[in-house]
């Protein structure tokens, strides 16, 4: 979508870009055209697009033959999308949901959850609003997923890929997906221009990824483990997860270890021990 079209469309509807929803729209037509191919989108793929905005990327995803679910929190933009894509909506290639893609307790919007589980594993292709990047990415492990190609602030993407500081998110993503960084983008391809660079994050599911049950325990373990990074890990884990603490000790993790010093494979091993112990206790 050209910037002139975007500005005219917003103005006509009395809308302005909203910072609190992370509204930085893609305005480079050549770049937009290349995204579905870079994401590996094939005709008939089910694609979740978080925050379609004015529909610039949605249009390209539809042109690539995707069946798109778009979730948009901004009521004014949602109304514009409905108007703009009424044909695609009526023929069934696009479904729009108005609301917050994030629901409480690690889940997604109920309509997204229902859609996700009602067909083959989908892709996620999105210019993700920075305000929800971490929580959204944290909801991906444990779900069936064909792949994800997600545009993020560079710092966030590097963190998610385990290249910038420690945290539970890179551990969880790394256990479920092959995580790689894609093309970097300068602020000029957006309007309004963000103050930072952006980059695509690619996720490809691993065959040996944790099961949903393992992922659930892993999430709890990591949350507790990384909650007070400066304090020693094992004493904190032992109260709520004695089996995990024991598994890590048996694997050579020292009493004084910090969470970032524990390899991802050992976190998974610890989660598996918790499940075994839970299933054997009366
Ligand atoms: N896809 C458009 C593009 O690339 O030009 C817009 C991308 S803009 C970075 C992010 C979009 O996500 C905005 O349209 C914003 O309103 C929407 N958004 C922000 N928070 C959201 C949330 N919690 N749930 C759903 N959509 C959200």
Q: Give the residue numbers spanning the domain of 276.
A: 212-280
pLDDT given at position 272: 97
**DSSP character at residue 157:** H
Cβ contact 132:22 at 8 Å: yes
Same domain, 190 and 241: no
- Is 0.85 surpassed by the pTM of this model? yes
Give the distance from CA 229 to its chain's centroid.
24
Q: Which atom number of ligand 1 is nearest to the Cα of residue 23?
A: 8
Ligand 1 in contact with 71 (CB < 6 A)?
A: yes
Same domain, 9 and 145: yes
Same domain, 56 and 155: yes
Cβ contact 184:242 at 8 Å: no
**131 CA distance to ligand 1 middle (Å):** 9
Q: Domain holding 231: CATH number?
A: 1.10.8.100
**Which tens digits make up the pLDDT trace of 235-270?**
889 999 999 999 999 999 998 899 999 999 999 999
CA dist 240 and 224 (Å) reads: 9
Residue where a domain terminates, one of 154, 179, 205: 205
Q: Domain holding 157: CATH number?
A: 3.40.50.150
Residue where a domain terminates, one of 153, 176, 205: 205
Q: How many helices and strands in the chain, by DSSP H and E?
A: 13, 9
Q: How many residues in total does the chain contain? A: 282
**For the chain, which residues score pLDDT lower than 50?**
none
pLDDT given at position 228: 79
Total domains in the fold of the chain: 2
Token pair listed for 218:
């892993």
pLDDT given at position 216: 95
pLDDT given at position 10: 98
Residue where a domain terminates, one of 187, 205, 223: 205
pLDDT given at position 198: 98
pLDDT given at position 28: 96
Q: Nearest C-alpha to atom 21 of ligand 1 is from which residue?
A: 73
pLDDT given at position 25: 98
């Amino acid at each position: 979508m050209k910037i002139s079209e975007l500005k005219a469309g917003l103005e006509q509807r009395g809308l302005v870009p909203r910072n609190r929803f992370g509204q930085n729209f893609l305005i480079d037509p050549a770049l937009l055209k290349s995204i579905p191919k870079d994401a590996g989108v094939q005709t008939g793929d089910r694609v979740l697009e978080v925050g379609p905005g004015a529909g610039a990327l949605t249009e390209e995803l539809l042109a690539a033959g995707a069946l798109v679910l778009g979730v948009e929190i901004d009521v004014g933009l949602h109304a514009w999308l409905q108007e703009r894509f009424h044909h695609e909506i009526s023929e069934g290639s696009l479904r729009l949901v108005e609301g917050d893609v994030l629901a409480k307790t690690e889940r997604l919007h109920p309509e997204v959850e229902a859609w996700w589980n009602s067909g083959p594993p989908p892709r996620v292709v999105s210019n993700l609003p920075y305000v929800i990047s971490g929580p959204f990415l944290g909801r991906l492990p444990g779900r069936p997923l064909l792949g994800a190609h997600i545009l993020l602030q560079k710092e966030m993407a590097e963190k998610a890929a385990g290249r910038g500081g420690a945290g539970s998110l890179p551990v969880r993503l790394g256990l479920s997906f092959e995580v790689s960084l894609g093309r970097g983008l300068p602020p000029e391809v957006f309007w309004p221009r963000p103050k930072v660079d952006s980059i695509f994050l690619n996720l490809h599911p691993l065959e040996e990824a944790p099961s949903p049950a393992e992922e659930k325990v892993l999430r709890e373990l990591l949350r507790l483990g990384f909650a007070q990074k400066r304090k020693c890990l094992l004493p904190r884990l032992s109260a709520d997860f004695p089996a995990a603490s024991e598994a890590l000790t048996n694997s050579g993790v020292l009493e004084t270890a910090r969470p970032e010093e524990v390899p991802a494979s050992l976190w998974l091993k610890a989660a598996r021990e918790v499940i075994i112990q839970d299933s054997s206790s009366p």
